[in-house]
Amino acid sequence: MISWPNLVSQLFNGLALGALLALISSGLTIIYGTLGVLNLAHGAMFMIGGYAGFVTYQYTESFILAVIAGSLFVMLLGVVMERVIIRHFYHRPHEDQLLVTFGLGICFVELVRLLFSSQSQIVPPPALFQGITNLGFMFYPTYRLAVVGIVAVALGALFIILYRTRLGMIVRAGIEDSVMVDSLGINVYRVFMVVFGIGAMAAGFAGIVNAPVVSLTPGIGDDILVQTFVVVVIGGVGSFPGAILGGLIAGEIISVTSMFNPGYAYVMLFAAMTLVLVVRPHGLLGVQGRE
């Protein structure tokens, strides 16, 4: 039965999940918007962020260092991936781009499975946020509340980078017309590399921040990837505001539906995606152009 605290609790969960999805999807969407490549390895990068953070935690016992290490490692991974492989695929058909990022994703997952086995790994939440918080009308795990805050800060940082810095200006211009950016004396391939790194970092950051909430396994990226796609289709490919809106919508749909029947969460998500496809094919906040 639906009880009031239960509903609010699920709404909070939805917010936490939604914010997380918004962050990961933002990364995917700016990569696609700028480079035109759909990164099917994005889920794997989320997972790697978690593991990189886990390893750091094993050595340093510091959650903060784990977060920093996780994010930086994945950013580096993204940069290397773009320079060594993705760059050669800009002029190849979309299908080939999909295949190569998909293959890389598989390789990442299998590599992690080899190094860490399929057993789940635990990263405990930082001492500051352990335990339960009394919100008056209900109790809620403290760390999960913290996640909302942390991710919100990260999204805010991403917003500031995109809309208040020179780099962000270049990225937004590049999403619109990368040839013109090159014409204005800015090496657009370097921009691509940076964007890929930032997008990957968003996924990696989300991966380590989320690690205390779920246990880490090599396969956790798969679900995330699917949810990210749904978010991007709903919000509109290439749109940062769309990723946020889509993320929140998806997060709430999953959470609220889980309250009634967890199995139907995906069905509802898919139904929402279908609705958007029929009514607004380019997504709620999408811009025509990229296909």
Binding site for other proteins (CB under 8 A): 32, 38, 85, 88, 94-96, 98-100, 102-104, 106-107, 110-111, 113-114, 117, 166, 169-170, 172-173, 175-177, 179-188, 222-223, 225-226, 229-230, 232-233, 237, 261-267, 269-270, 273-274, 277-278, 281, 290-291
Cβ-based nearer residue to other proteins, 150 or 253: 253
Q: Is 132 helix (H, G, I), strand (E, B) or coil?
A: strand
In angstroms, what is the minimal distance from the CB of 172 to other proteins?
Answer: 6
Cβ-based nearer residue to other proteins, 69 or 191: 191
In angstroms, what is the minimal distance from the CB of 97 to other proteins?
Answer: 9
From residue 232, alpha-carbon distances to 138, 143, 164, 266, 275 in Å are 33, 27, 23, 15, 14
CB count in 10 Å sphere of residue 1: 4
In angstroms, what is the minimal distance from the CB of 176 to other proteins?
Answer: 5
Cβ-based nearer residue to other proteins, 151 or 230: 230
Cβ-based nearer residue to other proteins, 33 or 53: 33
In angstroms, what is the minimal distance from the CB of 95 to other proteins?
Answer: 5
Cβ-based nearer residue to other proteins, 65 or 287: 287
CB 46 within 8 Å of CB 24: yes
Burial class (CB within 10 angstroms; exposed 0-12, middle 13-18, buried 19+) of 91: exposed
Q: Is 282 helix (H, G, I), strand (E, B) or coil?
A: coil
Cβ-based nearer residue to other proteins, 8 or 98: 98
Among 173, 165, 199, CA closest to 81: 199
Q: Is 290 helix (H, G, I), strand (E, B) or coil?
A: coil
Cβ-based nearer residue to other proteins, 37 or 216: 37
Give the H or E element holding residue 146: helix 142-164
Cβ-based nearer residue to other proteins, 182 or 252: 182
**CA–CA separation, 67 vs 157, rounded Å?**
15
In angstroms, what is the minimal distance from the CB of 53 to other proteins?
Answer: 22
In angstroms, what is the minimal distance from the CB of 244 to other proteins?
Answer: 16
CB 272 within 8 Å of CB 18: no
Give the H or E element holding residue 141: strand 139-141
CB count in 10 Å sphere of residue 182: 14
In angstroms, what is the minimal distance from the CB of 80 to other proteins?
Answer: 14
In angstroms, what is the minimal distance from the CB of 208 to other proteins?
Answer: 23
| 121 Rama class: left (phi>0) / alpha (psi -120 to 50) / beta | beta
